[in-house]
């Protein structure tokens, strides 16, 4: 079974992001931005299969004369028309155990995070694809409404597959991220980062796959500058397609985050998800993540659990 059969909608499973009420000072804004970015990055876990950084199913499949789902006969096989555009929208609803990412006196909450994203992935070569996307997401807290915020991303890059190296997938992109309030859309943080990653898929039979990967995000520019940091991580993922419509995923990730200020965090993340495609355009999902963070600065150690579900719609054209 082809692992592109189910969409890996990572943007709809960004479980958790948080923001303290803006204090008006540069230090307060830096703290708010840092916390919002931390939860976003920690919960966007790479999943097996080939997909873009924002989760839009790109169909980046290595060329093959046969389809294992249809047997070995390649004669008279219908050729699908290229559909480089993908429009996705969805509404995740989830519980988070630690909205402020603190070591003690934790507060839990429920978050509704509607999102919409548009991706353009033109084929530039035999196994080279462009990766251009924009997305907007809103995070609304049920109780701690002062934490509400919005996140905008514009990404431009490329994806390159190497069939001779077991379909090794290389990605490179530049991501502009802007964090704002929900009511006024005034920016309290913006960042431009260079992202690089390499992923090796290891198929197990026709319906299972293990993926090994490394990635890094290097901040090229950030304002305000105090929360500026780089992210370097490694992950392992496992996926099984139980049927053509139902898939299970598990992933473990280790990430190191050195800050320009001298602070260094190390996070371990575990994620589990189940995805059921009701229709070609409609997917229902359940996901949970657990994050443990250690820092060389006091006050930044914490643990957080996130769990919930999402309904997502996808249109390709």
- Read off the pLDDT of residues 206-255 as tens digits, 9 standing for 90 and up: 899 999 999 999 999 999 887 899 999 999 999 999 999 999 999 999 99
Q: What is the CA radius of gyration of the chain?
A: 19
201-218 b/e (C-beta count within 10 Å ≥ 16 → b): bebeeebbbebebebbbe
- Compute the average pLDDT of residues 57-66: 44
Residues near 76 by Cβ (< 8 Å), separated by ≥ 6?
none
Dist. CA 299–CA 124, nearest whole Å: 47
Q: Does 80 fall in a domain?
A: no
Q: Does 243 fall in a domain?
A: yes
Q: What per-residue confidence (pLDDT) applies to 31?
A: 66
- The per-residue pLDDT for range 259-298, each reduced to its tens digit, is 999 999 999 999 999 999 999 999 999 999 999 999 999 8
Q: Does 87 fall in a domain?
A: no
- The per-residue pLDDT for range 114-123, each reduced to its tens digit, is 999 999 999 9
Dist. CA 232–CA 134, nearest whole Å: 23
249-267 b/e (C-beta count within 10 Å ≥ 16 → b): bbbebebebebeeebebeb
Nearest Cα to Cα of residue 9 among 61, 62, 59, 52? 52
For 269, the token pair is 């993340």
Q: Does 217 fall in a domain?
A: yes
Q: What per-residue confidence (pLDDT) applies to 212?
A: 97
Dist. CA 177–CA 2, nearest whole Å: 33
Q: Read off the DSSP letter of residue 4.
A: T
Containing domain of residue 182, as a range?
10-60+93-316
Q: Read off the DSSP letter of residue 218.
A: E
What is this structure's pTM? 0.81
Lowest-pLDDT range of 72-76, 84-88, 268-272 = 72-76
The answer to whether 56 touches 117, Cβ cutoff 8 Å, is: yes
- Asked if residue 8 has pLDDT above 60, the reply is no
Q: How many domains does the chain have?
A: 1
- Asked if residue 22 has pLDDT above 60, the reply is no
Q: Does 237 fall in a domain?
A: yes
Nearest Cα to Cα of residue 147 among 89, 102, 117? 102
- Asked if residue 84 has pLDDT above 60, the reply is yes
Q: What per-residue confidence (pLDDT) applies to 288?
A: 93
Helix (H) or strand (E) holding 23: none
Dist. CA 292–CA 304, nearest whole Å: 7
Q: What is the CATH number of the domain that holds 124?
A: 2.40.160.40
Q: What per-residue confidence (pLDDT) applies to 102?
A: 86
Q: What is the largest CA-CA distance in the chain?
A: 67
Residue 109, Cβ neighbours under 10 Å: how many?
Answer: 19
Where does the pLDDT of residue 32 fall: very low under 50, low under 70, confident under 90, or very high at 90 and above? confident
CA dihedral of residues 303, 237, 253, 8 (deg, nearest 10): -70
Q: Does 202 fall in a domain?
A: yes
CA dihedral of residues 4, 195, 154, 182 (deg, nearest 10): 100
Q: Does 148 fall in a domain?
A: yes
For 94, the token pair is 């989830």
- The per-residue pLDDT for range 33-50, each reduced to its tens digit, is 776 776 565 445 444 443
Where does the pLDDT of residue 81 fall: very low under 50, low under 70, confident under 90, or very high at 90 and above? confident
Q: Does 76 fall in a domain?
A: no
Give me the DSSP letters along 264-289: EEEEEEEEEEEEEEEETTEEEEEEEE
- The per-residue pLDDT for range 124-178, each reduced to its tens digit, is 999 999 999 999 989 889 998 888 889 999 999 999 999 999 999 999 999 999 9
For 163, the token pair is 């069939």
């Amino acid at each position: 079974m082809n692992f592109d059969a189910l969409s890996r909608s990572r943007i709809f499973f960004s479980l958790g992001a948080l923001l303290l009420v803006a204090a008006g000072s540069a230090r307060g804004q830096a703290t708010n931005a840092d916390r919002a970015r931390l939860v976003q990055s920690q919960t966007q876990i790479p999943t097996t299969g080939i997909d873009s950084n924002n989760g839009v199913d790109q169909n980046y499949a290595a060329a093959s004369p046969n389809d294992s789902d249809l047997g070995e006969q390649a004669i008279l096989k219908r050729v699908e028309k290229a559909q480089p555009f993908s429009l996705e929208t969805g509404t995740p609803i989830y519980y988070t155990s630690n909205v402020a990412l603190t070591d003690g006196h934790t507060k839990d909450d429920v978050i509704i995070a509607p999102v919409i994203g548009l991706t353009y992935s033109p084929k530039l070569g035999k196994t080279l694809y462009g990766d251009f996307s924009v997305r907007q997401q809103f995070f609304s807290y049920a109780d701690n409404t002062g934490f509400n915020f919005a996140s905008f991303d514009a990404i431009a890059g490329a994806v390159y597959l190497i069939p001779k190296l077991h379909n090794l997938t290389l990605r490179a992109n530049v991501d502009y991220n802007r964090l704002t309030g929900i009511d006024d859309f005034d920016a309290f943080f913006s960042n431009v980062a260079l992202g690089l990653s390499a992923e090796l898929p290891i198929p197990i039979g026709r319906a299972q796959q293990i993926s090994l990967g490394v990635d890094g995000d290097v901040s090229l520019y950030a304002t305000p500058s105090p929360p500026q940091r780089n992210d370097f991580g490694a992950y392992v993922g496992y996926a099984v397609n139980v049927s053509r419509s139902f898939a299970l995923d598990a992933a473990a990730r280790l990430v190191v985050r050195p800050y320009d200020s001298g602070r260094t965090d190390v996070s371990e993340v575990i994620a589990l998800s189940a995805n059921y495609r009701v229709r070609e355009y409609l997917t229902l999902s359940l996901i949970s993540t657990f994050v443990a963070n250690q820092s060389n600065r006091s006050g930044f150690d914490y643990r957080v659990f996130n769990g919930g579900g999402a309904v997502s719609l996808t249109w390709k054209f």
